Amino acid sequence: MKTNKNNTGWIRHVSITPPTLQNNTADADRLIGELKSKLDTDAVDIDLYLLKRLPDLLRRCEYNVDCILFKDRKRWLVTGITHPQDTSPIYGLAVDLGTTRIVLRLIDLSTGRIPAETSFDNPQISAGPDILTRIHFADQDGGLNRLNKMIIDGLNRMIIKLCDSCKIKPHNIYSLSVAGNTAMTHLFMGLSPHWIIREPYIPVINRPGLVKAEELGIKVNPAARVLIFPNVGSYFGGDLIAGILFSGLNKTEDTAILVDVGTNAEVVLGNRHWLIACAGAAGPALECGVTGIGMMAGPGVVDRVAIDHDTYNIQLHTIDNMPPKGICGSGLIDLAAHLFLCGMIDIKGKILPSICGSILKEKEGIRHLVVVPAIDSATGSDLTISQAEIDILIRSKAAMYTILETVTSSVGISFNDLSTFYVAGTFGSFINPRSAISIGMLPDLPIDRYKSLGNSSIGGATMALTSSECLDEIDKIRDSVTYLELNVNQEFMNRFSAAGFLPHTDPSLFRSVKVCARISPPHKPLAAG
Amino acid sequence: MKTNKNNTGWIRHVSITPPTLQNNTADADRLIGELKSKLDTDAVDIDLYLLKRLPDLLRRCEYNVDCILFKDRKRWLVTGITHPQDTSPIYGLAVDLGTTRIVLRLIDLSTGRIPAETSFDNPQISAGPDILTRIHFADQDGGLNRLNKMIIDGLNRMIIKLCDSCKIKPHNIYSLSVAGNTAMTHLFMGLSPHWIIREPYIPVINRPGLVKAEELGIKVNPAARVLIFPNVGSYFGGDLIAGILFSGLNKTEDTAILVDVGTNAEVVLGNRHWLIACAGAAGPALECGVTGIGMMAGPGVVDRVAIDHDTYNIQLHTIDNMPPKGICGSGLIDLAAHLFLCGMIDIKGKILPSICGSILKEKEGIRHLVVVPAIDSATGSDLTISQAEIDILIRSKAAMYTILETVTSSVGISFNDLSTFYVAGTFGSFINPRSAISIGMLPDLPIDRYKSLGNSSIGGATMALTSSECLDEIDKIRDSVTYLELNVNQEFMNRFSAAGFLPHTDPSLFRSVKVCARISPPHKPLAAG
């Protein structure tokens, strides 16, 4: 016997009155009638695949069955019908369709529990590391089909692996939810992303709703449906809608903000009454660092940095404690923050040779700071950060801060009015808010107002499969978002210029940031720690 | 330029405002929004197949397109989107899914015109001539799949032929409507008909609604949908619902009756306020005649008979004027009527040797009447009708009359209250009502109240494709039909016994039937004419 079946509400036990000569309503119509009254709806559909199996099953179960349900706006769909004594697992699959990394998470539809999760590199990386390259690739002859096949085949392979790890079959998956940015969602559906990057930036569809898994080529239960998260536009995708759902921003009386930090800075501000969103290019510096030693998080990548204010000793933490081979965004923000707080770079981000001492090297006329000397690095070469790279980072953090200022001021709210500052994204969860404040990337709020959401896209996709109430929220969120088009006007440029300093030209905005004023080099020689 | 596009209402010209930076709603959502307001609905869906083609098409058409629509209850579906200057034909296909014969009719969705029609023998006949045999065949291993494949493959072959004859492609077919009895509809959908013939006679589904043609294996436009007519039960199928739609019975203030004469006598009585239906076995005698010489209508089959009251000369009409090889139901009814009116058979249907003279033969102790002597027949043998066969015919006509009496009396209506008596079915259209009255098969109403509908099943299926209003009627009709279960109780048996005479034990019910009272043989010897 399955227990706790009704935790998610997707599995409903239905008892129907056996037919008689006096009441000879058909099997399907009898079941639908019962579901309509149970679910208080006037639209319930049963897949043809299930209709073929219904008469025998109903009679074997003596007209007591468990129905597996999903919902497309006002219409409920039966995606599975099982014998109440059948102990086969009934699973859903949440998917975060990341540009770089795809995350799959199994959900037990009986209990809402998560028995397994996996992730894999987006196979489309072979066609282009970033979404822009892929959109151009899609324009080539057969390109769109190839990109679509890469993602669908990749998902099918990983679904088999994930199911194997739980000793279930893909057939046991009855519903899916997929959250991704607008371009990834298009490539997943086989829709052309061509116009997404061309003015006026029009997606093919905003609200894909439910699509049959089979029609998309996803090999799970033949009656399974895929909920595809809606987007607000080309630059505000389903991953963000999932993020809002996951954060609960749309449910609270207090106004809060949600920021997804990546190549694009995506921001949502609001509460249960209204939501305002905007997105703008922040450059890759915040996500995968800068060109020289910057890289995506992974084993041996520096993700946390501290500098001793007395010794100028650089303390590093690498992922999996492997020898350092590069530095990711969170490490870079830490590094910049500490370089600034120690006075090794100035308010403009310029390297101060008098303070930096022996870690300063000059290559081809450009100043570099040695973060990890060759002897300690996994690469056998110095890991360095150049003046140019620091400049790029400062432009990125300035863009981020300017976007945050623009969106809050558009509704006349100050940062201090924000009850919570959600930082989303796998990368975002590693940012030290203290460091981000120190460089003026995030506003100077009490640290406890910052909440890291982790991968909020998979979080929201998971929630969509945990109850029909959550599912209903998705379209509500999508339709309540007002998208603020960023006008790069004079006001924006003024804000951007002011934010191009560490932490800002107006120090009163960052009262908590205290620079260690020093004019002489430290006592000991510098060394990587 | 296509003209009269809007005759059926299925093709709508849609002009949408081109997108701008200020209004960057996605292509599909923009189109759906426009259609929602045009159609005054809150549910419009676009097939994924069309979504893939939408962005290019919209831009090529400068945001002016023709949308091909279909409707599933309250939900509208876009099944095609074309350039307004595109002159490719836009067709629908109506199908009458007969047990014996399948009829296909193309409908120009722009104008409602019917450019072509064809029919073919139901390929399932090879598995069983009647539906009962096929239902048992379906129970065998793989039987259901084979029957399903026969009908689907047969339809696909004929669709190609029909399209070729009109110089169009199956791709030009965007919507289909299919009407058939409940068992045929099940076999068409691949649903088990097993429980249809087993008490309490439960179909798998009453209201199949719209199904994707592709999912059924029908090879037409990939986005095409198939409307499958609903049934009221195992013995009152979609063909009858189509018949009601075609007759307009459900629209008139006056009460009328619709009878489909076949192996089952299917009867609907009612008006725009109510509909009551019943069906009962009448035996095959009325449709394909009796065992000896009876056969389905076809070349060389006698379909009309008259007997000269003076000479007893039998005058025959054969289909296509070919030499006679058998007799179909309408011919048989004529024959029985004239035999009775000439006094050659008595009120019990017994052959009167003294009157029949030389056309009487005795074979194995059973009396036969020679309808066509060997010398005139296509078979080289006498075409005869035996006493036993006449008895079967009388039982069939008695069953029909009893059913008619039962259904009318159930609502306290007399035959004379009926404004119109519709006779449906390909066979029904050949019945001479005068003859049917003479033998007491149909009630003694003024002849002008009888209206032959021809194949009302294909008629209704056609109507379903001519407007959304007609489509909406289908579910209304289905839901307003009260099905009267025929209880073979004492009252029924009394009526059946009374109807077992020619025309009836109560001659006051058939005042127009005048038997030529004669006690001596005719002057001349009998001969087939």
Q: Could you give the ipTM of this predicted complex?
A: 0.90
pLDDT tens figures, B448-489: 999 999 999 999 999 999 999 999 999 999 999 998 888 778
pLDDT tens figures, A316-370: 999 999 999 988 888 999 999 999 999 999 999 999 998 888 899 998 888 999 9
**CA dist., res. B107 & res. B150, Å (int):** 24
**CA dist., res. B296 & res. B304, Å (int):** 13
Q: Are β-strands B75-82 and B44-46 bridged in parallel, bridged antiparallel, or unpaired?
A: parallel
* Joined tokens for residue B267: 């009867």
pLDDT exceeds cutoff 70 at A462: yes
* Joined tokens for residue A335: 């590094």
First to last CA, chain B: 58
Residue B298 confidence (pLDDT) = 85
pLDDT tens figures, A243-279: 999 999 999 999 999 998 877 789 999 999 999 999 8
Alpha-carbon Rg of chain B, whole angstroms?
26
Hey, are the CB atoms on B21 and A201 less than 8 Å from each other?
A: yes
Residue A176 confidence (pLDDT) = 98
Hey, are the CB atoms on B24 and A191 less than 8 Å from each other?
A: no
Q: Is B489 on the interface with A (CB under 8 A)?
A: no
**CA dist., res. A335 & res. A502, Å (int):** 13
Q: Is B222 on the interface with A (CB under 8 A)?
A: no
Nearest Cα of chain B lies from the Cα of A24 at a distance, in angstroms, of: 6
Dihedral, B394, B397, B398, B399 alpha carbons, nearest 10: 120
Helices (H) and strands (E) in chain A, counts: 16, 22
Q: Is A352 on the interface with B (CB under 8 A)?
A: no
**CA dist., res. A464 & res. A473, Å (int):** 9
Alpha helices by DSSP H, B190-345: 213-216, 238-247, 285-288, 329-341
Hey, are the CB atoms on A211 and B51 less than 8 Å from each other?
A: no
Cβ atoms of B144 and B190 closer than 8 Å: yes
Q: Is B274 on the interface with A (CB under 8 A)?
A: no
Mutate to test the interface with A, among B42, B48, B482 (most CBs of A within 10 A): B48
pLDDT tens figures, B384-401: 999 999 999 999 999 999
Nearest-CA neighbor of B402 among B465, B487, B291? B487
**CA dist., res. A338 & res. A411, Å (int):** 34
Hey, are the CB atoms on B203 and A26 less than 8 Å from each other?
A: yes
Q: B468-480 and B456-464 are packed helices; what angle lies between their axes, rounded to 10 degrees?
A: 130
**Cα angle vertex A444, ends A443, A445, to 5°?**
100
**CA dist., res. B197 & res. B136, Å (int):** 10
Nearest Cα of chain A lies from the Cα of B199 at a distance, in angstroms, of: 7
DSSP A491-510: HHHHHHHHTTSSS-S-GGGG
Look up the pTM and report it. 0.91
**CA dist., res. A96 & res. B20, Å (int):** 30
CA distance to A13, A207, B40, B64, per residue, from B30 (Å): 40, 11, 15, 12
Residue A495 confidence (pLDDT) = 94
Q: Which chain B residue shows the shortest CA-CA distance from A23?
A: B200
**CA dist., res. B157 & res. A489, Å (int):** 64
Residue A283 confidence (pLDDT) = 66
Alpha-carbon Rg of chain A, whole angstroms?
26
* Joined tokens for residue B516: 């030529």
Q: What share of chain B is helix, strand, coil (3-state, %, to 5)?
A: 35, 25, 40
Work out how many CB contacts closer than 8 A connect A with B. Answer: 113
Residue B282 confidence (pLDDT) = 74
For chain A, give the mean pLDDT: 92
Cβ atoms of B244 and B259 closer than 8 Å: no
Nearest-CA neighbor of A231 among A178, A154, A282? A178
The predicted model gives B146-155 an average pLDDT of 98
Chain B residues with CB-CB distance to A25 below 8 A: 202, 206
The predicted model gives B220-237 an average pLDDT of 96
CA distance to A305, A357, A371, A504, B440, per residue, from A386 (Å): 17, 15, 10, 21, 106
Amino acid symbol at A445: L
Which residues, other chains included, contact A61 with Cβ-Cβ below 8 Å and sequence gap of 6+? A83, A84
Nearest-CA neighbor of B514 among B314, B341, B336? B341
pLDDT exceeds cutoff 50 at A51: yes
Picking from A24, A52, A204, the nearest residue to B201 by CB comes out as A24
Q: Is B25 on the interface with A (CB under 8 A)?
A: yes
Hey, are the CB atoms on B51 and A194 less than 8 Å from each other?
A: no
- Tokens 């009109």: give the residue: B166
Residue B295 confidence (pLDDT) = 79
As a whole-number percent, the residues of chain A with pLDDT over 90 amount to 81
Picking from A19, A204, A231, the nearest residue to B200 by CB comes out as A19
Chain centroid to CA A336: 25
Residue B520 confidence (pLDDT) = 53
pLDDT tens figures, B20-45: 988 889 999 999 999 999 999 999 99
Q: Which residues pair with B11 in a beta bridge?
A: B68
Which residues, other chains included, contact B441 with Cβ-Cβ below 8 Å and sequence gap of 6+? B286, B333, B396, B397, B400, B401
Q: Which residues pair with A314 in a beta bridge?
A: A307, A528
pLDDT exceeds cutoff 70 at A284: no
Neighbours of B353 (CB within 10 A): 12
Residue A522 confidence (pLDDT) = 52
Neighbours of A33 (CB within 10 A): 14
pLDDT tens figures, B160-181: 999 999 999 999 999 999 999 9
Confidence of residue B1 (pLDDT cuts 50, 70, 90): very low
**CA dist., res. A149 & res. A147, Å (int):** 5
Residue B476: DSSP 8-state: H
B512: helix, coil or strand? coil
Q: Is A202 on the interface with B (CB under 8 A)?
A: yes
**CA dist., res. B488 & res. A446, Å (int):** 86
**CA dist., res. A382 & res. A389, Å (int):** 15
Chain A residues with CB-CB distance to B200 below 8 A: 19-21, 24
Nearest Cα of chain B lies from the Cα of A56 at a distance, in angstroms, of: 9
Nearest Cα of chain A lies from the Cα of B259 at a distance, in angstroms, of: 23
pLDDT exceeds cutoff 70 at B53: yes
Q: Which chain B residue shows the shortest CA-CA distance from A42?
A: B74
Residue A171 confidence (pLDDT) = 98
Residue B279: DSSP 8-state: E
A16-19, long-range: CB < 8 A, 24+ apart: A16/A58, A16/A63, A16/A64, A17/A63, A18/A62, A18/A63, A19/B200, A19/B202
Confidence of residue B209 (pLDDT cuts 50, 70, 90): very high
- Tokens 């501000």: give the residue: A269
A248: helix, coil or strand? coil
Confidence of residue B528 (pLDDT cuts 50, 70, 90): very low
Residue B317: DSSP 8-state: E
Confidence of residue B72 (pLDDT cuts 50, 70, 90): very high
* Joined tokens for residue B422: 């519709």
Q: Which chain A residue shows the shortest CA-CA distance from B203?
A: A26
- Tokens 């769109």: give the residue: A144
Residue B499 confidence (pLDDT) = 95
Q: A238-247 and A456-464 are packed helices; what angle lies between their axes, rounded to 10 degrees?
A: 80
Q: Is B27 on the interface with A (CB under 8 A)?
A: yes
Chain A residues with CB-CB distance to B203 below 8 A: 26-27
Neighbours of A38 (CB within 10 A): 15
The predicted model gives A57-67 an average pLDDT of 97
**Interface subset of A 233-272, CB within 8 angstroms of B:** 233-234
Nearest-CA neighbor of A47 among B155, B73, B494, B204? B204
Residue A46: DSSP 8-state: E
> Is-cis flag, bond preceding A353, omega within 30?
no
Neighbours of A316 (CB within 10 A): 20
Residue B400 confidence (pLDDT) = 93
Nearest-CA neighbor of B144 among B178, B94, B195? B195
Residue A288 confidence (pLDDT) = 57
* Joined tokens for residue B334: 């004529």
Amino acid symbol at A485: E
